[in-house]
């Protein structure tokens, strides 16, 4: 493009955005030189390939930092990539297979994995193309995928080292079990939903007496896993029963009546059933009293313990079993009463089914031990949270962290590198060849080994993201990374795990700063969800209003610590502001303004000249400070104040009156530098205009602090500008047409003749 090209009268982002991006691709690569660097990790989106507004916010804010540092000739590296997203991707692929008439359950492990890779080959580019449409200036040639061969090898190496260091072990523990997905899931993958439910009061017979004790429970169907009843030691109602036994209805099993603080005298009947195998609170009670653990559910959520479950309930799913059991209890007059209550029910966020606590054998990582250093580096300030309040959320979880269940009973993911001998020995090695070698030393053949079928929790592999993604050369150059930007909802999922694993393997922090942005909600403040029908597709917004308008909106609304109320009107307003930027450039071009004038060629003589340079310097310094403090919202606000209120509404109007070449060239210089400084936020329109007006794609902003500014002149013009705003405000409040002149008096002695003329025209 050359400066002779005319700016169109209509702002049409579709006509240039894609071309601008494609022409800029070569500039995204890191330089790998210089004393300074800026590096940042892209939170790897799921390969399911759907960009939502939360993604758009994260990537926009990251891209602002990347473009800002690249502008200042700082060696910049933005690590892109994709996450295999075990459970989420498996569900999508199963749905895809069903649409083709293929049942996933009918496929072997190898066949299913081949289908996942086939699906990934067709869909993985979707999310990347959407990121490119958003303007993400990442060097895509360095992109990593968490299931790539090299990445998978690193994950295996990490598991083996942690196991041999005694930090990974296999044990039977109570976990969250998803009966639909048939796998253990994390506490963080659960949504606790408040529902209207029932509290049932059920009589248990006191052994060897005609007395009954009443138990209040929300889950009567698990009573066959009861191992005790608990009452408070101070509850006078039950003193005579403490130490005796109760009989589980429809069984001959007697269980002790114990005292424990878990029993609240003021809730329910004051007597609670203790079912350690199917309730986390009861599990802790069981540990305190050394109670047995009785499992009554299979992995599908069916009652299948033949030794204790009555025949009329065996094999039934929990919901159906509850209905039949309650009917029988009522008929047998053991159900005393029912209360309607509000309580929280745990649902799997992927399956939407009720989660059942179950005792299963799983692989665990000793997170409490790894958390020690990860807590220290935040306490001593080596890693800082922005806003600072989020470190308290981090501490609350990290200081109470439990062993991390890292195994999942699904097919898609990193298979745990463990093998079992016929005698039950566990062999953990990097390859099957190494495992066979160990087995032979134990007296077993290769055919005697059985491979572990469990895969690793997705967050285990993504927890290695800060250092596994980079080559040795890049690790030496760009690690630790400078900043992490992400949403608060994955502080525990991702941030904490990257901190723990990076400190363990590299003995170094993964990043210095962590900026936590808020949740994007709809314009009424509600969380966006498909069920509510209030989800907004960022691609639709970009197609309608342009990418810069979406980016500017997200930036403007990104107030730290405050959720974003987002609506289409927000983007429309932003589009209007960008149109004003466009029209300002077009007007200046029609006035014969030069945009290639060097700073040294300009004569800063008039009061208005000093004033506009003072405001521009303030604007530039403000942005530099905002970047350091991660106040992206301030940057967007400054852009409006400077361009609209100061440059367009006053300086350009003054330029019309003064009407000399020097003032016009100052306008061209300031406008060009404004475009450069705004480029990280709105890259497409600014680069396009720079090309049209100056014929140059140089985005590096000019240093303007060397300009000698007369502060008295600035004060004089400030006085006039403030007076002008007051007059306009009065016009507006009195309903006077903005184009109509009014008589107004003020001291104009300090103003130049040209400005007094502008003053009179007010």
User: Is residue 237 domain-shared with residue 106, that is, in the same domain?
Assistant: no
Confidence band, pLDDT 50/70/90 cuts, at residue 3: very low
Give 391-416 pLDDT, tens digit per residue.
999 999 999 999 999 999 999 999 99
- 527, pLDDT greater than 90: no
Q: What mean pLDDT is reported for the chain?
A: 92
166: left (phi over 0), alpha (psi -120 to 50) or beta: left
Query: 119-123, 165-169, 256-260: which range is least confident on average?
Result: 119-123
Domain boundary among 320, 338, 356: 356
Same domain, 586 and 660: yes
Report the number of secondary-structure helices (H) and strands (E) in the chain: 24, 25
Q: Answer whether residue 404 is part of any domain.
A: no
The answer on 211 and 119 residing in a single domain is no
* Two tokens, residue 173: 């523990």
Same domain, 543 and 474: yes
605 and 536 housed in the same domain: no
Cα distance between residue 481 and residue 511, in whole Å: 5
- For residue 573, give the CATH number of its domain: 1.10.730.10
d(CA 689, CA 686): 5
* Residue 273 is assigned to a structural domain of this protein: yes
> What pLDDT is recorded for position 753?
54
Mean pLDDT for 726-731 is 71
> What's the CATH code of the domain at 71?
3.40.50.620
Final residue of a structural domain among 356, 374, 402: 356
85 and 217 together in one domain: no
663 and 595 within one domain: yes
pLDDT digits (tens, 9 = 90+) for 232-275: 999 999 999 999 999 999 999 999 999 999 999 999 999 999 99
Asked whether residue 578 is domain-assigned, the answer is yes
Q: Do 210 and 324 share a structural domain?
A: yes
d(Cα 750, Cα 758) in Å, to the nearest integer? 14
Which of these three, 326, 356, 386, is where a domain ends? 356
441 within some domain? no
- The domain that contains 257 carries what CATH number? 3.90.740.10
- Give the model's pLDDT for residue 524: 84
Domain span at 319: 183-356
Same domain for 329 and 199, yes or no, is yes
**What's the pTM value of the predicted model, to 2 decimals?**
0.91
How far is residue 105's CA from residue 97's CA, in Å, rounded to a whole number?
10
C-alpha span between 457 and 94 (Å, rounded): 19
pLDDT digits (tens, 9 = 90+) for 445-492: 999 999 999 999 999 999 999 999 999 999 999 999 999 999 888 888
Residue 642 within any structural domain of the chain: yes
Q: Would you say residue 416 lies in a domain?
A: no
Number of domains in the chain: 3
pLDDT above 70 coverage of the chain, percent: 95
Go through the chain and tell me how many residues it has: 762
CB contact at 8 A, 594 and 668: yes
Please tell me whether residues 70 and 209 are part of one structural domain: no
6 is a domain residue: no
Asked whether residue 338 is assigned to any structural domain, the reply reads yes
Cα dihedral angle (237, 240, 245, 250), rounded to 10 degrees?
Answer: -50
Same domain, 589 and 714: yes
Q: 540 with 596, same domain?
A: no
């Amino acid at each position: 493009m050359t400066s002779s090209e005319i700016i169109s009268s209509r702002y049409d982002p579709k006509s240039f955005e894609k071309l601008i991006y494609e022409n800029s691709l070569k500039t995204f690569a890191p330089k790998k030189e210089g004393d300074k660097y800026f590096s940042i990790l892209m939170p790897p989106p799921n390969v399911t390939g759907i960009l939502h507004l939360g993604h758009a916010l994260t990537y926009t804010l990251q891209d602002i930092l990347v473009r800002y540092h690249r502008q200042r000739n700082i060696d910049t590296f933005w690590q892109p990539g994709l996450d295999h997203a075990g459970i989420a991707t498996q569900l999508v692929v199963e749905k895809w297979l069903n649409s083709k008439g293929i049942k996933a359950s009918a496929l072997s492990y190898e066949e299913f994995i081949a289908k996942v890779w086939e699906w990934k080959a067709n869909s993985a580019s979707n999310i990347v193309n959407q990121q490119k449409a958003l303007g993400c200036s990442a060097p895509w040639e360095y992109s990593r995928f968490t299931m790539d061969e090299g990445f998978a090898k690193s994950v295996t190496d990490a598991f083996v080292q942690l196991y041999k260091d005694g930090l990974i072990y296999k044990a039977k523990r109570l976990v969250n079990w998803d009966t639909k997905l048939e796998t253990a899931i994390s506490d963080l993958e659960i949504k606790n939903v408040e529902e209207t439910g029932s509290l049932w009061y059920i009589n248990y017979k006191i052994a060897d007496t005609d007395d009954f004790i009443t138990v209040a429970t929300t889950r009567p169907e698990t009573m066959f896993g009861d191992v005790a009843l608990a009452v408070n030691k101070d509850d006078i109602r039950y003193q005579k029963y403490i130490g005796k036994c109760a009989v589980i209805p429809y069984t001959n099993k007697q269980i002790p009546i114990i005292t424990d603080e878990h029993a609240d005298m003021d809730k329910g009947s004051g007597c609670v059933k203790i079912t350690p195998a199917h309730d986390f609170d009861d599990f802790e009670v069981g540990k305190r009293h050394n109670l047995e653990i009785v499992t009554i559910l299979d992995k599908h959520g069916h009652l299948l313990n033949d030794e204790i479950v009555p025949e009329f309930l065996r094999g039934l799913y929990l919901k159906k079993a509850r209905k039949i059991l309650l009917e029988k209890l009522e008929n047998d007059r053991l159900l005393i009463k029912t209360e309607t209550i509000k309580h929280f029910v745990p649902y799997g966020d992927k399956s939407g089914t009720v989660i059942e606590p179950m005792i299963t054998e799983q692989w665990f990582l000793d997170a409490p031990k790894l958390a020690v250093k990860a807590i220290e580096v935040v306490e001593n300030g080596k890693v800082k949270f922005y806003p600072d309040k989020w470190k308290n959320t981090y501490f609350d979880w990290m200081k109470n962290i439990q062993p991390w269940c890292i195994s999942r009973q699904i097919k898609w993911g990193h298979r745990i590198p463990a093998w079992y001998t016929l005698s039950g020995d566990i062999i953990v090695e990097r390859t099957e060849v190494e495992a066979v070698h160990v087995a032979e030393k134990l007296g077993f053949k290769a055919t005697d080994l059985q491979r572990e079928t469990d895969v690793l929790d997705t967050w285990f592999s993504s927890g290695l993201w800060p250092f596994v993604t980079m080559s040795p050369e890049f690790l030496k150059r760009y690690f630790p990374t400078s900043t992490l930007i992400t949403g608060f909802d994955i502080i525990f999922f991702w941030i904490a795990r990257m901190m723990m694993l990076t400190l363990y393997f590299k003995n170094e922090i993964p990043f210095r700063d962590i900026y936590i942005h808020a949740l994007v909600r709809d314009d009424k403040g509600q969380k966006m969800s498909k069920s509510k029908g209030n989800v907004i597709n960022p691609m639709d917004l970009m197609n309608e209003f342009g990418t810069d308008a979406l980016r500017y909106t997200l930036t403007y609304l990104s107030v730290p610590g405050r959720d974003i109320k987002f609506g289409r009107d927000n983007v429309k307003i932003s589009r209007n502001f960008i149109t004003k930027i466009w029209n300002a450039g077009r007007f200046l071009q029609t006035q014969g303004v030069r945009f290639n004038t060097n700073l040294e060629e300009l004569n800063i003589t008039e009061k208005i000249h000093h004033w506009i340079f003072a405001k521009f310097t303030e604007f530039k310094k403000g942005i530099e400070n905002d970047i350091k403090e991660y106040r992206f919202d301030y940057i967007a606000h400054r852009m409006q104040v400077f361009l609209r209120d100061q440059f367009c509404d006053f300086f350009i109007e003054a330029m019309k009156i003064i009407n000399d070449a020097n003032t016009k060239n100052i306008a061209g210089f300031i406008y060009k530098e404004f475009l450069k400084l705004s480029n990280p936020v709105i890259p497409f329109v600014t680069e396009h205009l720079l090309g049209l007006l100056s014929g140059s794609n140089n985005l590096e902003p000019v240093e303007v602090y060397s300009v000698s500014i007369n502060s008295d002149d600035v004060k004089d013009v400030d006085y006039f500008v403030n007076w002008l705003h007051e007059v306009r405000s009065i016009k507006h409040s009195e309903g006077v047409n903005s184009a109509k002149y009014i008589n107004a008096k003020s001291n104009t002695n300090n103003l130049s003749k040209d400005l007094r003329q502008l003053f009179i025209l007010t």
